Chain A
Amino acid sequence: MTNNISLTINGLDVKVPEGATILEAAQSAGVYIPTLCYCPGLTSEGACRICLVKIEKKKKLHPACRTPVEDGMVVITDDAEIDQVRRVTLELILSDHDFNCLLCPKSGTCRLQALVNHIGFDERRFNRLNRVAKDLPVDTSNPFFDFNPNKCIHCGICIRTCREIVGVDAINMAYRGYDLKVSTFGDQPFKESACVSCGECVERCPVGALIPKDVKHPTREVKTICAYCGVGCGLYLGVRGGTIVKARGDHSNPVNRGELCVRGRSGYRFVNSPDRLSSPLVRAYDPLESKPQGINGAPEAGKPLTRPLVKERGEFVEVSWDQAIKYLASTLVHYKGDQFAALSSAKCTNEENYLFQKFVRVVMGTNNIDHCARL
C-alpha cells in the first residue's frame, strides 16, 4: 500500500495509506491519542469517546479510532477544549467504577489508571457525580477467570474479541441505561454459558473486570511451544519460584499469532500437579531383603524375572535412579530381539523419539517400535 493521503496532525505532516484512521495516522507519526475501547486487531466501535479529536472545518469532535483520513485534513489532538471534553467523559466513566485500586490485580497495568494520569480529574466535581457504588455479584463460576461487573467500563472489547477473534459470541451487552452490563446468553454464570474459557477477552480487558484467578506475576518468561495439540502454538511460560504461574500467546509465532485456546492458556497446570511421580518405582520382591539380587543388585545372568512373583506379591517401592537404571539394564538384556517392543510418545520431543527408536533398534535389536499416531 502506498502512503497516498497526506494530512496534518498537530502541525506535523503525515502520510498514510487510504483507509487508515486518524488514530493510526497519529500512531505512525508518534502522536499519542488516549484510547480506552480501541484494541488493535478488532473493529473500532468508538464507544468510549476518549479519543475525540478536532478536525478543521468540521463542526463536532470526531472519534480518532473510527474516522478515516482524508487528503488535506487538519487534525488537532489536544487543546483546552478537547482536554475538557475528555476529562468529563473520563469522570463519567469513573463515576460508575468500583475503586479499589490497591487491591485490584490489574493495578499498574490498568488502562483506566493510565488515562486518569494522562487526563486528570477534578475531585470535587467527581464527588458530586459519583453515585452509590454498584454492588453487582462477581461471577466466579469459571475456574480460570472472574468477571466483576462493578469494574466494567462497557468498552465492549471482550464482546468484540469473542465475536471477531474466537468466533463464539458467548457474551453481549444486556439491559438498558444504568443497568447495562456485559452478559452471557440469559445472564447465566460463565461456566454454564457458551463460553469456551479461552481467556482471549481476559487478556484484552483494559481494566480489572475480567481477571484471571490467582494472579501471580511471573519473574521471568520462557518462550516455548504448547504441549497439547498438533497446531503447535507458541507460548510464553511465566515462571515464579520454580513453578509455572502463567501462560500467554507468542505474537511472533506464525501459527497462533499470540492467540491461545483454553488448553494452551490454562492447561499448563498439570506440570505442577501434586500427582506427579517424583521417584522411580519398582515392584519389589516380598520380602525385599530375601531377594538381594532384585533391586539392590543385578539378577544373575540368564535368569530373567519370573512374572508371578513380581506381579502378584509386589508392591511399588521407591528406588534411586541409579538402582532403577541398573535393575532395568540388567533385566532388559534378557529380552533382546523381537520379544521386546516399545511404544514411543507423540508427547515427547523429536530428540527423545529419535533416541528412543535408536535405543530400540540398536540396543534391543528390534523394529517393534510405534506410537499413538493412529489414535
Chain B
Amino acid sequence: MAGLAAALGSGAMTNAVSEIGEAACIFVIGSNTSAAHPIIGRQIARAVKQGAKLIAADPRRTVLRRMADVWIRHEPGTDVALLNAMARVIIKKKLFDTSFVEERCEGFEAFEAAVKDGDLAEAEQITSVPAQKIVEAARMYATFSPATILYAMGITQHSHGTDNVRAVANLALLTGNLGKPSSGVNPLRGQNNVQGACDMGALPNVLPGYQKVEDQNIRKKFEKAWNCQLNPSPGLVLTELFESVHAGNVKALYIMGENPMVSEANTSFVQEAISHLELLVVQDLFLTETAQMADVVLPAASFAEKDGTFTNTERRVQRVRKAIEPVGNSLPDWVIIRDLAKNMGAKGFDFNSPEEIMEEIRGLTPSYGGITYGRISKVGLQWPCPDLDHPGTPYLFAEKFSTPSGRGQFAPLSYTPPAEVVSHEYPFILTTRRSYFHFHSTLSRKVDGMNVLRGEERVEINPVDAAPLEIEDGDAVKVTSKRGTVQAKAKITQTTPPGVISMTFHYPETRTNLLTHGALDPVAKIPEFKVCAVKVEREIDFGTQYLGWGTGKIG
C-alpha cells in the first residue's frame, strides 16, 4: 500500500466495487479473484458478458483465464518487466492520455526515459510472454476506456512489491484511468477489516487516519485529545518485529486475533522468537497454534457477538451487529481492552458502547468525520466522508491526487529479479495461493463442511514436472526449501505452469510458511510469499517401496 500512497496519495482502492460492472476494460493482475473475492469475481464475469474486455495476468491458470480476451502467463516475480513493456507499447504507439499526463501528473519524462531503453524481445525473454500478447494487452488497456486495474497479493507479496504497485499505478496514470467512475487502481484487500485496521492506526508509523507519528503537530493534537505523552519514534512493523523479539529487545507481546505461527513467512523462525518472550498474551476465539504458546489466553467474542463497524476494500464503513450473546465466558475485544486499560489506571477509556468509541474516532480521523452509526444503519458510507452532510466518496481523485503536490507521481522503474531464484538444488518456484473454501488458518477450518470440501493441502504441480519425479495425483510429496520441509498430497494439474508449484497456507497440519522466506520489500516491509525456491520429492514409504521395486512405482 506504500507504493500506491507514494504514487497517488492514498493506498486504498480508488473506485467502488459496483463500478467494475460498468468498466470497458478490466485488467486483473496477481489476483485469483474468483477464489479469493468470489463476489467481485462474479462482477467481472458479468462485465465480460456485457462486452467488457478482460486482460488476466497470472502465472497460474485461474478461472478468469477462461473468459479473458488476453491471458498473460508471466513468470512469477516478473511483473515489473511486463508492466514496463506494456507502458512502452502505449508510449510508442502514442496511445496515452497526453492532457491527463500534462495536467495531473509529474515525473513523466524520467519515467519515459526509464521505459524507453529496453525492448520487447528482452521483456519476452524475462517474462516468457510472447511479445505479440504484450502489445495486444497494452493496446486493449489503453484504447478501451474506462479501464480498471484490479490486483491483490500477487502483486504486493514480493521483495519488490512496492515497485510492482508503482508499475501498476504508472499504467493507470499514463492512460488517464483515474479520478473517474469504473477506472482506477484497485488493490483488493484480503481480510474483512484490513482497510479499517489501517485506517484506525493499527500501524507502527501512523495514528488514526494515516496521520504520521513523526509529525509534531499531529502528535500534539492526539496528546491533547488523549491527555497523554506520545512516543515520537515509529514502531516495528510485524515482519521486523519477530527479529526484534528474537534479539530480546521486545520482551512482551500482546496478540489480538492473529495466528502468526501459521500465517507468517518462515514460521520456524517465528516459533523460535516467540520462545524468547517473557510474556505472550493472545486474545482469540480459539486456542490457535500461537495461543498454545501463550502465557495468558483471553477468549474473545466473534463478529456475531458484538457491535461495531468494518471497512471493506472499497473504503465503505459498514455496521456489524450483535446477533447472539458472547459464546461461553468470552468478551468482545473492546471490552477486554477497556477493562485492562482501566485496571492499569488509564484515563480516557470510559466507553460504554462501540458507538461512543466511533464518536471519538470521528473527532480525530478527518476521513471518518461524517460517519455516525445513525448514517450507516442501512447502507455504509465510503470514506473520505469529512462531515455530516458529506455523501461519501465512491471514487477518489476526481479533482486532484492526495500527494503533496496534488499530482500523480510517475515512477521510473527497472526490473529486479525475485530475492530467491531457482538453483540446481531447489529447481522449483513455490508460489502461495488461497482456496475458495478457506480463509487463512483458523475460522473456516472450524467449519466441518469446509473441511469436507477441502480437508487437506494439495500441492499443485504441472504434469510436465510430475512425470520425471514419478509423482502421481494424490501421492504424498515432500516439499523442501532452505528453511524447512512440509508434506502434503500432490495434485497434478495444468493450472500451475511448468517449473512452478503452488500451495495454500490454510492448514496448520501442513505449514507452508515454514518454506517461505522473510525477504522483505524495502519500503512496504511485505514478505515475498509469492516466490521462493523449493525442491519436490515423492515421499517414499519404505514399507511399500520394496514391493514396488523395479516397477518405477510404489506398489
Contacts and interface: CB of A to CB of B under 8 A. Distances in A.
Interface of A: 142-144, 164-168, 191, 196-198, 213, 222-234, 237, 239, 242-244, 252-256, 259-264, 266-273, 275-283, 304-307, 310-311, 314, 316, 321, 324-329, 331-333, 335, 337-363, 365-375
Interface residues of B, number: 155
6 nearest CB pairs, A to B: A232-B312, A278-B328, A349-B308, A143-B449, A345-B257, A367-B235
Interface stretch (B100-108, B202-210, B488-496): B202-210
B286 A277 contact: yes
Interface stretch (B124-132, B348-356, B399-407, B417-425): B348-356
Interface in B353-387: 354, 357-358, 360-361, 378-380
B555 interface: no
B246 interface: no
B121 interface: no
A230 B235 CA distance: 26
B256 interface: yes
Interface in B437-456: 437, 439-440, 442-444, 446-450, 452-453
A197 B452 CA distance: 11
A301 B303 CA distance: 37
Contacts of B63: 167-168
B256 A343 contact: yes
Contacts of B322: 222
Nearest to B191: A346
Contact of B327 (A271, A305, A355, A373): A271
A225 B340 contact: no
B238 interface: yes
A81 B256 CA distance: 69
Nearest to B520: A374
A225 B328 contact: no
A368 B204 contact: yes
Nearest to A166: B42
Contacts of B250: 338-341, 368
Nearest to A337: B231
B286 A350 contact: no
B257 A348 contact: yes
Contacts of A267: 439, 443-444, 447, 450
B323 A222 contact: yes
Nearest to B432: A375
B116 interface: no
A349 B249 contact: no
Contact of A371 (B49, B258, B329, B333): B258
A272 B323 CA distance: 12
B298 A324 contact: yes
B86 to A, nearest CB: 26
A283 B282 CA distance: 12
A167 B42 contact: yes
Interface string B292-321: 001111111011111111111110111111
B437 A263 contact: yes
15 contacts: A263-B444, A263-B450, A271-B302, A280-B299, A282-B295, A307-B278, A311-B275, A332-B279, A343-B253, A343-B255, A366-B231, A369-B203, A371-B202, A372-B258, A375-B527
Contact of A255 (B18, B333, B443): B18
B286 A367 contact: no
Contacts of A369: 201-204, 235
A126 B328 CA distance: 55
Contacts of A367: 204-205, 213, 231, 233-235
B346 interface: yes
Given A328-B296, A341-B252, A276 B448 contact: no
B308 A277 contact: no
A276 B327 contact: yes
B17 interface: yes
Given A229-B190, A307-B278, A325-B343, A234 B318 contact: yes
Contact of A350 (B252, B317, B336, B450): B317
A353 B257 CA distance: 11
A254 B297 CA distance: 38
Contacts of B207: 357, 361
A275 B287 contact: yes
Given A278-B329, A324-B296, A353 B202 contact: yes
Contacts of B199: 350
B352 to A, nearest CB: 12
A339 B252 contact: yes
Given A276-B330, A329-B344, A281 B296 contact: yes
B388 interface: no
Given A267-B443, A349-B310, A367-B204, A333 B324 contact: no
A338 B436 CA distance: 40
B228 interface: yes
A229 B449 CA distance: 19
B184 to A, nearest CB: 16
Contacts of A328: 281, 296, 298, 340, 343
A230 B192 contact: yes
B241 interface: yes
A252 B378 contact: yes
A362 to B, nearest CB: 5
B241 A370 contact: yes
B324 A243 contact: yes
A296 B545 CA distance: 58
B447 A370 contact: no
A349 B334 contact: yes
A342 B341 CA distance: 14
Given A232-B312, A369-B203, A374-B527, A346 B192 contact: yes
B216 to A, nearest CB: 15
B5 to A, nearest CB: 12
Given A232-B316, A276-B286, A352 B379 contact: no
A344 B253 CA distance: 11
Given A333-B344, A369-B204, A345 B256 contact: yes
A329 B354 contact: no
A222 B203 CA distance: 32
A332 B41 CA distance: 45
B36 A229 contact: yes
A352 B346 contact: no
Contact of B202 (A243, A256, A339, A356): A356
A338 B306 CA distance: 31
A304 to B, nearest CB: 7
A266 B191 contact: no
B39 interface: yes
A231 B238 CA distance: 24
B263 to A, nearest CB: 5
B300 to A, nearest CB: 8
A144 B449 CA distance: 6
A307 B348 CA distance: 32
A122 to B, nearest CB: 44
A127 B197 CA distance: 64
Contacts of B460: none
Contacts of A306: 278
B343 A355 contact: no
Contact of A342 (B46, B188, B229, B256): B256
A358 B226 contact: yes
B204 A335 contact: no
B60 interface: no
A191 B443 CA distance: 21
B200 interface: yes
B338 interface: yes
Contacts of B235: 338, 341, 366-370
B304 to A, nearest CB: 5
A375 to B, nearest CB: 5
Contacts of B285: 270, 276-277
A370 B253 contact: no
B554 interface: no
A350 B306 contact: no
B252 A332 contact: yes
**Among the interface residues B199, B332, B358, B447, which one has the most CB atoms of the partner chain A within 10 A?**
B447
B526 interface: yes
